[in-house]
Structure 1
């Protein structure tokens, strides 16, 4: 995830995820109602893409939003009455909200994943990265869309329409796979993410490649949402979304005013896609998010083989305390390559040390 610090109504700083997949600015931390001094608020229903019903949120009075060198006045936002996302526990640091269309629509935005920087300017002053490719996009329902060519596991090809979604942690999601094509033979069931009204379930596997402009990216780990998700009605017809797993292979420049996205491959472009090899789904809990709690163990996975259970706590990996690692470092341990790891686990009111043999599952 891309996290930026910003101030709201001269209070902060607060951590927001930069998310082209959302329209209205969403404040996920309900306690901000009091801290940013909102004078008036009305209740609306927000419907998302997961399981469950729409949830209630407050629409704020106009906000002043500040990042270094930039102040945006009269920004509209919604504050969730309950933090349904629990993004802080997944990211391993306090997350207060999502910043999307309101930010990108007014600015030229350059994102350099090579050095983790972002530059913003007036749209007319935007200068793309040298030798970058110009990709036409459309802005529909406050979200950016592009077309890309997909080569499916059976060798067939199709041009698909995707949301460009910086807030999605996966590389690629194909929502029409179960309707139009067979599920790839090597697929695993998985929780694919979390939306406004709950988790999105489905399968993970790989497609042969995706083509963006003249860039071809091979053997892409892809999410295939299940039929309950597919049957939902979307305001804009689309085939899925391209997430940060692919987008971070490029340095990007967004120009909503001219319906353009500029891509330039970076040093991550040739890195292979890998998925978790442990079978452990987890979240971070406690003060400073320093406790790794198991939320699910995939049946038949290496974690299942060693008897790891839901609600177990992993306290160290290869003798390195979890409290000394970021969520990104922990992910790296579990999906870098096939190897053995020594885990210290708090289980059944005692500490155990176990060896887990990681295995590529897709």
Structure 2
């Protein structure tokens, strides 16, 4: 699930005296700040303020422009001004996306502040990553943060540390590796190696923290980068220009200097989805969240360096969705629940924080609904009779509203032959389906 996708109002001129207003500046004596983030599907979701409005943004090394998804008319609250219309292009097979470019916005991440930030508000109701992730995401930011600050990402503990480059001091680390970065259009690339059919192949990869997969490779017979016979067709992710599809497989090994990950997941996106990405000279693909999360990483763009060290996630096995269906948050369902305790009230109906009490036995509650949005042809879920649009009510007797979307999806990554009993709501009719998870690789 790949490529995946959401200021200060006081006068800061005194605080920022001597600093450029078109760069991030950290407003404390240490000139360093620690920010907690949410890890969702191997992605980094950070709190961020724009013009005084608090939002949630995806931190993505693979984007050069900060983008706001305007499906909720966020720009009205942000008081976006000085706009011009432009067109953006990203992954996916669709046309370019229309956006409004806005200048001179105030942006704040923790104590890092920038006074003159360009923003791009995208007007596309279908471009909404929140349902696929199960948490609010209002936009994406990348290059503007990384080029101004040294960014440490501690995937294991779930925090960022932002530091002014002139104040950052490298520590000696015997178990670390320092890797040279190359840049194209402000995006970072590294040289790595993949082992396919016992052949070690050098590859140049975009570092894409905005992708949840492990590795994407562009097929190239002349280099030996091919998926072979063991693969299956699948939905890979949602890009700026639409859905991305391709082949899923495994490679024998992925190597970053001395660090080697064996039996790693790989995806080979269809050519029409990556036509423009392949135009970058010598680019062979992307390395994304399911590999990056296994390291704690320091990005130092100004010195073109990346420092990596293994963390507690390094030895996690690579798995994949064995059901063949993808779910997304699809609003809420109204449920009637039995109250376990008697309600002492004068009337038969009373309001509570999470619903309406009916008499002294029942209450109506709003619970999250998860719907099937992708269904792989020939998959166990499809062959069992499940359909796109079905609302998943329970899995193996567990009510899905008691789980996050991430927890529900994780059930489909369990062992081969695991039995699944799925109860769904299909247009008001309740149906039950049974199948086993199927190992394809």
TM-score class normalised by the smaller sequence: over 0.9
Is the 8 Å Cα contact of residues 84 and 197 (structure 1) preserved in structure 2? Answer: no
Choose from 308, 322, 326 the match for 1:277: 322
Tell me how far apart the structure 2 counterparts of residues 289 and 144 of structure 1 sit (CA, whole Å): 41
Tell me how far apart the structure 2 counterparts of residues 193 and 91 of structure 1 sit (CA, whole Å): 11
Tell me how far apart the structure 2 counterparts of residues 78 and 39 of structure 1 sit (CA, whole Å): 11
SS at match of 1:62: strand
What is aligned with 2:204? 161
What is aligned with 1:18? 59
What is aligned with 1:299? 377
Deviations 1:102-150 (A, max 9, x none): 0111101111111111111112333567432111111220101000011
| Structure 1: tracts of 5 or more residues without a match | none
Question: Structure 1-normalised TM-score?
Answer: 0.94
| Structure 2: tracts of 5 or more residues without a match | 1-42, 333-365
SS at match of 1:267: coil
Task: State the shift of 1:302 in Å.
Answer: 1.6
Moved more, 121-130 or 168-177: 121-130
Question: Structure 2-normalised TM-score?
Answer: 0.78
What is aligned with 2:238? 194
What is aligned with 2:269? 225
**Which one has the largest radius of gyration?**
2
Task: State the shift of 1:327 in Å.
Answer: 2.2
Tell me how far apart the structure 2 counterparts of residues 37 and 115 of structure 1 sit (CA, whole Å): 35
Choose from 350, 359, 362 the match for 2:438: 359
Deviations 1:28-49 (A, max 9, x none): 1341211011122000011122
Is 2:185 the counterpart of 1:144? no
Task: State the shift of 1:356 in Å.
Answer: 3.0
Tell me how far apart the structure 1 counterparts of residues 277 and 144 of structure 2 sit (CA, whole Å): 24
What is aligned with 1:94? 136
SS at match of 2:116: strand
Moved more, 198-207 or 128-137: 128-137
Is the 8 Å Cα contact of residues 84 and 196 (structure 1) preserved in structure 2? Answer: no
What is aligned with 2:69? 28
Is 2:94 the counterpart of 1:52? yes
Task: State the shift of 1:195 in Å.
Answer: 1.5
Deviations 1:22-73 (A, max 9, x none): 0011111341211011122000011122112111100012211112222122
